[in-house]
Amino acid sequence: MKKTILITGTSSGIGYSIAKEFSEANYKVIATIRKVKDAERLKKELNENVYPIICDVTNPEQVNDLARYVKEISLNGLLDGLINNAAIEIVSPIEFQDLEDTRTLFETNLFGLMHVTQTLLPLLGTSSKANKHTGRIINVSSVGGVLSLPFLSAYATTKHALEGYSHSLRRELSLFGIKVIILAPGAIKSKIWEKDQLDKKSYNGSRYEQPFKSFKKMMVKAEKNAASSASIAKFTLKIFETSSPKVRYTFTPGRFFNWTLPSILPHKGVDFIFNKVISLSKK
């Protein structure tokens, strides 16, 4: 019997690649997207194991409908896996950050994720009707869930919160044998840093202008050696199928400099590096 998983945020990037990887491994994949045109595209581009569902994780009514969709699509009415991937980010100095945009970020990256999880827990194995069924949850966090970069404060804050939520969730769900795994990718190949759509108008001419330009150059350089979404998807399938998974996996190229070293340095040591690389020290 095919296993059924649900993945949020599958229109592009990591989510799309994970949906493709799992569907090719013969899983039934319920793939959430926000736009009808993306649902049609997924049907054309991916195989018959993919079931695109319109669901914005910030829309309570659409999230509440997810359980019904799972029951219709899954052969036993239960869910074998939930991969919480949907996320957005804001790039801005904190001083000029729009608080409404920040609230939207939290609704997507944290509160929407919590609602999706809460809605689907009975189908993952917490319900008495689940008959000892045990699903598995992978929460896609980020290296930024531990290492906070400048100009990505709101995103880093949501990922720090997600890490804390995941640890509490894992401990609670051990009661049912449901494993909760944190997957924390580092730099991923993306076009965001090559685009001029980042909002710089509000701080052009300010003290932030030059450090931000240096930060952008740093991110463009990192992206050249970044992991592909396809490689992360293969790794996601591997840890999903591992019988005894770790609590947390970090997936990043240049692991020593991008993860190990910043993890063992004191906070002021990391501050010193950023000050040197993107000129954040007071002059």
**Catalytic-labelled residue, pool 16, 27, 155, 165:** 155
One DSSP character per residue, the chain reads ---EEEES--SSHHHHHHHHHHHHTT-EEEEEES-HHHHHHHHHHS-TTEEEEE--TT-HHHHHTHHHHHHHHSSSS--SEEEE-------S-GGG--HHHHHHHHIIIIIHHHHHHHHHHIIIIISGGGTT---EEEEE--GGGTSPPTT-HHHHHHHHHHHHHHHHHHHHHTTTT-EEEEEEE--B--SGGGSS-S--GGGTTSTTHHHHHHHHHHHHHHHHTPBPHHHHHHHHHHHHH-SS--SEEEE-SSHIIIIIHHHHS-HHHHHHHHHHHH--S--
69 catalytically annotated: no
Cβ neighbours of residue 183 under 8 Å, at least 6 residues apart?
138, 139, 140, 141, 232, 235, 236, 239, 248, 249, 251
CA–CA dist 232, 149 (Å, integer): 21
Active site residues: 155
